[in-house]
């Protein structure tokens, strides 16, 4: 008996067949059976929530799954993922720069430094007004 036939998933599948059929599978066929069975097994997910909602005489089920994607992405999925990452990174970078500019402006105003005499954006007045 090959090592592949000792695999629990394959063993479970073969145990449901007559003995004369079990012995007819080649290792290559067993590998493909394992892949087909593995695609239907539930993995471990960081978020795994299932439930049923009953409305009138019908019952509806819901499933929420979230976790790390371990699949190989297609070329199109890779492009979309890179575009999404670039978008998120751009937003984070823009917000970080804006926050740093705001903090720099507030520190400048708190120290009483006027770059343009008699001109203010009104941010310092608004910020001080939050604490009055």
Tens of pLDDT, residue by residue over 102-115, are 999 999 988 988 88
What span, in angstroms and rounded, lies between the C-alpha atoms of 3 and 20? 19
What span, in angstroms and rounded, lies between the C-alpha atoms of 14 and 27? 13
Interior CA angle at 100 toward 96 and 106, to 5°? 145
Residue range of the domain that includes 53: 47-130
pLDDT in tens, 34-54: 888 775 556 677 888 889 999
Q: Are residues 59 and 93 in the same domain?
A: yes
Q: Are residues 76 and 54 in the same domain?
A: yes
Q: How many domains does the chain have?
A: 2
Distance of CA 69 to CAs 31, 74, 88, 89, 103, Å? Answer: 23, 13, 18, 20, 38
Q: Phi/psi of residue 27, each to 5°? A: -60, -35
Q: Phi/psi of residue 121, each to 5°? A: -75, -15
pTM for the predicted model, two decimal places = 0.48
Q: Are residues 79 and 106 in the same domain?
A: yes
């Amino acid at each position: 008996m090959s090592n592949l036939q000792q695999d629990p998933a394959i063993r479970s599948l073969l145990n449901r067949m007559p003995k004369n059929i079990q012995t007819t599978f080649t290792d290559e066929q067993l590998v493909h059976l394992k892949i087909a069975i593995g695609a239907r097994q539930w993995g471990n997910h960081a978020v795994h929530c299932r439930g049923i909602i009953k409305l009138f005489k019908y019952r509806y089920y819901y499933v929420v799954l979230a976790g790390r994607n371990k699949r190989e992405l297609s070329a199109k999925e890779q492009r979309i993922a890179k575009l999404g990452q670039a978008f998120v990174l751009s937003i984070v970078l823009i917000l970080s720069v804006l926050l740093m500019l705001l903090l720099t402006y507030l520190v400048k105003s708190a120290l009483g430094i006027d770059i343009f005499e008699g001109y203010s954006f009104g941010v310092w007045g608004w910020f001080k007004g939050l604490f009055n």
